[in-house]
Structure formats: structure tokens, C-alpha cells
Amino acid sequence: MTHSDVTYRETPLGLELERIIPAPRQAVWRCWVEPELLMQWFCPKPWRVSRADMKLRPGGRFNVVMEGPEGERMECPGIYLEVIPGEALTFTDAYQEDFVPQPTSFMTGYVRLEDTGEGATRFIWGARHSREEDKQRHLEMGFKDGWKAASDQLETLSQEIAAQSRAPDFKVPEFKAKVRTSLFLEKDALLAAEFYVSLLPDSRIDAVYRPDPAGPELVVEFTLAGTPYMTMNGNPQAQPSFLSSISVLTEDQPETDRLWQKLSEKGGQPGNCGWIQDRFGIHWQIVPKALPRLMSQGGPGQAARVQSALMSMTRIDISGLEAAAQAA
């Protein structure tokens, strides 16, 4: 397969396109997740994207409006189902933001990116449909030619971003927050920050500072549930430490379980009493609001029972804490 070759595959209800894009994976990823970049390539000319409203987290909105040369307008509201920074996206029009069902659904789409060496990226774009007639309609709409043209535009834009990143125009960052926690990593500062902001509402990437924008990044500023943080690259001696951690106060057991599962993925290391180390080496404390409530009610006896139950847990189980609190 040469850089310009496109491979198409069909399954009973699916369509898929694969090609090698001669640009770094991070440059291709940026074209998918930064609205101002996605608008430049996402639909084949003479159509254009007039609006891209995106919130990069599972359940976050992925709303795109496309307009044609004769005034045609196509609104495509949906949400992200999966966000794996730098590697994978899955989105669907079956729901609006925060998993509110839509009356009809056309497809679930997915993107997969992987390094192939020498600064190139294997790009896979696919669509799954619930009905054969929707798949056929997608083909009639021009899935093959349309996505070949769009991916040509994606390739061109990704290469431009990679070329710009090599220009020596790095400026000293103008940091936004007066006080913020800094996480000093060996590498993957942007991937870590993108993963973190996908976990919690009121989270976002605020700024990325790159001597080479295609990677690695030097500093990434981000907001996590309203709190400012930054990640930094360039610490080859970075070692996980319990001296600092990100503590999250969760509302209930489902939120506790969701965060625990996400932080456990790809080599995360669960610890005791709600502590967990993610795959980037950062320690977290996932603490349900029920824990301090149960520890402060009922006197020293109840607090001791809750504390004893807590010490036997890895992921904190609220029902177990409540049972200990109520024990005679």
C-alpha cells in the first residue's frame, strides 16, 4: 500500500476505509479533535463544514453542520462514545449530548490511528449501520468517493501541520492560571492531558506549547473539573510517587466505578483504599462523597468500623461502607 492508496472493506452492515497518511499520528489526531482544523477537511469540496461543536469526552457532543454550494444544509448532531487520546474515537448520531436518545439513527462511526514508522500514520475510518438500507444509502451518498476526497484533504492538512511544527517559532508560554499543579512526565504530556479531560465534566485543554507542534509537546495547560493543571514533557527520571495525587470526590458508585475502570486501562495499577496509578504514572484517589459523610456521622464507633472496612478495599464500595456503618 503506497501513501496514496485507499483500501475499502465491507461487512454486512459496515463500511471501512484505510490508508497510510504520511504525517505524524499527533498531527492527524489534531485534525480530528480541534474544531478549527476539522472544519478545513471533514467534507469534500465544494461542500464545507460551517460549524463544528465538539466536547471531547464520552457523552460529549460531536455536532457538525455541512453546507453545499447551492444552499444545501446537513446537520449531523451526535456524541462521542469513546475517546482514547491519539488513538481512537467512536461517535454516533443515536444520542445527543449526555446520552439523550435521538428519534432516529443513521450510523456509528469510528476512527483508529496507529504509527507505521518514519512519521506516517495508519488511518482507519469506518461506519456501522443498524439496517442494510442505511448502509446502501451511505454508499449511494458517496461513501467511497466522498471519504477518499475528504481523507485526501486530511492528508494535506496533516502534512501542513507537521511542516509548520518544524518551524523555529516557539514562543515562551503566557500561562493562564496564577497557581496550578504541574505534572512532570517523561513524554506524552498532551496524551495524558487529553485523557484526563475526557474523564470529568467542566474539563478542557486550555493551551498547548510546542517547540515542535507535531510532538512532543513541552507544556500543556488544562482544566480538570474546574481546577487548573499542567503537564510537562522532558523528565527522563520521572518516577511514580505517592507524594502527590489527584483526588476526585465522586457522587455515587457508578461514577466511582467509571473512573476506576478508565484509570485502570492500559496498565493502570489499582492500589488500596481508593488509590490508583494511571498508565502515565500519576496517582489518583477516587473517593465517594459517602466516605467522609459516614466517617463523620454516628460517633467514634461508626468511624472506626467504616475505617476498618475501607482498609480492606481497593476500589471503594459504598454499600460495604454503609453496611459497616450500620453494624452493631
The pLDDT confidence band at residue 239, using thresholds 50, 70 and 90, is confident
Decide: helix, strand or coil at residue 164. helix
Domains of the chain with bracketed CATH: 6-165 (3.30.530.20), 177-238 (3.10.180.10), 243-328 (3.10.180.10)
Q: Of 37, 28, 41, which Cα lies nearest the Cα of 86?
A: 28
Residue 175 or residue 321, greater confidence: 321
What is the arithmetic mean of pLDDT over 76-89? Answer: 94
pLDDT in tens, 215-232: 568 899 999 999 999 999
* Residue 164: per-residue pLDDT: 72
Question: What does the CA dihedral 173, 178, 179, 182 come to, rounded to 10 degrees?
Answer: 0
89 CB-contact burial (10 Å; exposed 0-12 / middle 13-18 / buried 19+): buried
Query: Is the predicted pLDDT of residue 198 greater than 80, yes or no?
Result: yes
The pLDDT confidence band at residue 282, using thresholds 50, 70 and 90, is very high
Percentage of the chain lying above the pLDDT 90 cut: 75
What is the arithmetic mean of pLDDT over 258-277? Answer: 95
* Residue 213: per-residue pLDDT: 58
Question: pTM score, two decimals?
Answer: 0.56
* Residue 88: per-residue pLDDT: 95
* Residue 167: per-residue pLDDT: 45
pLDDT in tens, 15-64: 999 999 999 998 999 999 999 999 999 999 999 999 999 999 999 999 99
Query: Is the predicted pLDDT of residue 7 greater than 60, yes or no?
Result: yes
d(CA 308, CA 235): 38
Query: Is the predicted pLDDT of residue 320 greater than 50, yes or no?
Result: yes
Residue 164 or residue 318, greater confidence: 318
Give first-to-last CA distance, the chain, whole Å. Answer: 70
